[in-house]
Amino acid sequence: MSGTEAVVRAEIEALHAFFVGWFAGVLPQERLETDFLSRFSSDFLLVPPAGTLLTLDELAASVRAGHATNPTFRIEIRNVTLRRRLDGRPGYL
Amino acid sequence: MAPSRVALLLALSFWTLASAAPSRARVVFVGIDGASWNVIDSMLDAGRLPGFAALLARGASAELETVEPVISPVVWTSIASGRGPDAHGIGGFLATRMALAVPTAFERLAAGGVRVGLYEYLVTWPPPALPGGFAIPGWLRRDDAVWPPDVWTRAGVSPVRVVYDAALVRDEHAVRALREVERKPAAFSALVRSFDPELAVVTIYAVDRVCHRFWRDAYPDGADADAAPPAPGSVLDRVMRGLDRAVASIAAGLAPEDVLLVASDHGFQDGEARNVWVGRTRGQLARADLEPARDNFTLIREWGAIVARVHPGPFDARDAVLTRLDAFYRSAETPDGDALYRVVTLDAVERPPDHQRSFVERLRQRVYRFVAARFFGARFEEAAHGWVIAMPKEDAMASVWPDGRILLAGATLPAREVVYREDFDGEHDPTAVFVAAGGPIRPQPVRGELSALDLAPLLFQLTGQPIPDDLEGALPETWLDPDWLSAHPPKRVTAAEAPRLPASPEVPAVQVDDGAMLERLRALGYVD
Ligand SMILES: [Zn+2]
């Protein structure tokens, strides 16, 4: 596994561990900031499969609303592979 | 105080006054690739485009009739030159400014003493040396050259530019489109502040980019774009609202005597779902020990057909590269041994007697050239040793997409490392958008009609320059305040007398003292 792949894997696992703890209600509310929001740049945008755009604020609101809503929530992570790496230059859109 | 000092102070204060006096009224032209009245009107009705609403309330608008074929490089060049595609010579997406058969209004105005700034207008690479102005070529550029070379430093901003040189997944297009409408206005206003152009032009590509890819998400279940606004929160809705803020912020930076023109090159409509295979082969060339800079070739595009241009140069060396590129793309196969591309090599130089192609091969090349020019506007007329074109084969591509494997240059790779499938739903519509406000523009409540060819005469008139007689459109006089028009009667000039930027036959309007640019073009084989 390459260095980048290890970093990506650790990031995916930590984020999804948060999701499980959050939606199951195991994690307290204040962990939203430390375990989730702090991972994103302030201008992060999410494009869900339905073709909508969510800003970080909107994403945060919907995750916040999901706290402790699914006590049996589980996520399994398998076969993390790095498929592509984009070497973008800042400002080049 | 000694009289000489008084004189000096007087002179100084006059000089200060003169330099602080407002410059000539500015014309700002905002090009929005793909902006469409059906989208705008329904969003206006829903109150979602306050910037456009304010502009329309004080200005005039038109359905803009475009030219055929309705593709961006062709239409933007007609708008810029005031000439139809037959005259301007730009037929498709391989075009550079060197293929322009006529001067653009931008170049003519600059030659006539108007300071012109061009920010990402299409088909402006290599960037023309516009005296006192700037030129930052749009996404069809072959490299990142700008005029003047220190344009970003002088404007005090870091570059904001649109690139289509990587196969991006759908989400990435959405995010980048929104970033473009968010960031471009500030970069544009910094450019305008530091160069103070009398004609400032900026083109935004975000709308075309998302209309092609997110149309059905904006209009789910066959919703009619004429009847309802795009779904709230959809990518198109977000980008249009970002665009509205962008237009409003550009408008806010203008004085009442300045003119704001907003135009698109075509509109949009629901289209038949289709897919385009985008190559990701640039990063794989090293597998065949191919390196563009060292081997003197350019991978011009990978969207749809892959096109590589081998630069002119010593026959044997260049021909070896041409052969290796041809072999590289021919090596792309499915695990079952089916070729993924139909590969065509085109010679662009006379071949020496011992390197002649067979009669059949020469015929094949001729047929391909004819078909490419006739149906795709691709003319392959640039200086080159030769071209390699690799056209994706739909069935073979579909058989490996998305999780299959591809054999390439002796390696077996996951398909996604070599290609990417873009899915398009929105499709160009021939009716484009035009809005004008400020200065001598007469507000008109009813939407009119104009031709894309009428914009060039308007640009000459608004900047106080004579209108050359080779333009195909007409000055829309009814759009202008009658008093202003009688104080500024249109002047005409023959095409032969119209000012032109200094040009050499191979490289129009790249000035001879522009050493860095000439060096670049020499390296790319465009000049000797
Ligand atoms: Zn388009």
Shortest distance between the Cα of A91 and any Cα of chain B, in A, equals: 5
- Where does residue B401 rank: exposed (0-12), middle (13-18), buried (19+ CB within 10 A)? middle
The one-letter amino acid at B123: V
Pairing between strand B306-310 and B297-301? antiparallel
Shortest distance between the Cα of A18 and any Cα of chain B, in A, equals: 24
% of chain B with per-residue pLDDT over 90: 83
CA distance B339 to B336: 9
C-alpha to C-alpha distances, B200 to A45, B345, B457, nearest whole angstrom: 31, 41, 16
Which residues of chain A have a CB within 8 Å of the CB of B231? 52
> In a 3-state reduction of DSSP, which class is residue B82?
coil
pTM: 0.90
Shortest distance between the Cα of B235 and any Cα of chain A, in A, equals: 5
pLDDT tens for residues A69-92?
999 999 999 988 887 777 777 788
B161 touches chain A (CB under 8 A): yes
pLDDT value at B343 more than 90: yes
pLDDT value at B475 more than 90: yes
pLDDT of residue B44: 97
pLDDT value at B132 more than 90: yes
Q: Which domains does chain A have, with CATH numbers?
A: 3-65 (3.10.450.50)
The residue among B139, B164, B171 with the most chain A CBs within 10 A of its CB, best to mutate, is B171
CA distance B268 to B37: 9
Residue B12 in tokens: 């100084």
How is chain B split into domains, by residue range?
24-273+426-523, 281-417
B153 touches chain A (CB under 8 A): no
- List of residues 6+ apart from B249 with CB closer than 8 A: B185, B189
| CA contacts within 13 A on the Cβ side of A54 | 14
pLDDT value at B280 more than 60: yes
pLDDT of residue B521: 81
Cα dihedral B134, B139, B140, B142 sign: positive
pLDDT tens for residues A26-74?
999 999 999 999 999 888 999 888 888 899 999 999 999 999 999 999 9
Cβ atoms < 10 Å from Cβ of B232: 12
**Composition of chain A by helix, strand, coil, percent to 5:** 45, 5, 50
Nearest to B299 by CA among B279, B270, B320: B279
Looking at chain A, which residue has its C-alpha nearest residue B181? Answer: A93
Residue B174 in tokens: 């959405």
pLDDT of residue B16: 41
The one-letter amino acid at B460: F
CA distance B430 to B428: 7
- List of residues 6+ apart from B456 with CB closer than 8 A: B79, B80, B81, B82, B105, B471, B473
Calculate mean pLDDT across residues B182-193: 97
% of chain B with per-residue pLDDT over 70: 93
Calculate mean pLDDT across residues A11-36: 94
CA distance B276 to B351: 35
The single-letter DSSP state of residue B217 is H
- List of residues 6+ apart from A79 with CB closer than 8 A: none
In the reported structure, the alpha carbon of residue B73 is separated from the centroid of ligand 1 by a whole-number distance in angstroms of: 10
CATH topology of domain B24-273+426-523: Alkaline Phosphatase, subunit A (3.40.720)
Of A52-66, B335-349, B505-519, least confident by mean pLDDT is B505-519
> Are A51 and B414 an interchain contact pair (Cβ–Cβ within 8 Å)?
no
Looking at chain B, which residue has its C-alpha nearest residue A54? Answer: B233
Calculate mean pLDDT across residues B427-437: 97
Which residues of chain A have a CB within 8 Å of the CB of B161? 91-93
pLDDT value at B189 more than 70: yes
DSSP string of B234-292?
BHHHHHHHHHHHHHHHHHHTS-TTSEEEEE-S-EEEEEEEEEEEEE--GGGGGGGT--H
B396 touches chain A (CB under 8 A): no
Instruction: Count interface pairs A-B at CB distance under 8 A.
Output: 60
Q: Is the separation of the CB atoms in B392 and B340 below 8 Å? A: yes
Q: Among A47, A83, A91, whose Cβ lies nearest the Cβ of B174? A: A47
Calculate mean pLDDT across residues B455-471: 97
> Are A51 and B160 an interchain contact pair (Cβ–Cβ within 8 Å)?
no
- Where does residue A58 rank: exposed (0-12), middle (13-18), buried (19+ CB within 10 A)? middle
CA distance B261 to B51: 14
> Are B234 and A84 an interchain contact pair (Cβ–Cβ within 8 Å)?
no
In the reported structure, the alpha carbon of residue B123 is separated from the centroid of ligand 1 by a whole-number distance in angstroms of: 15
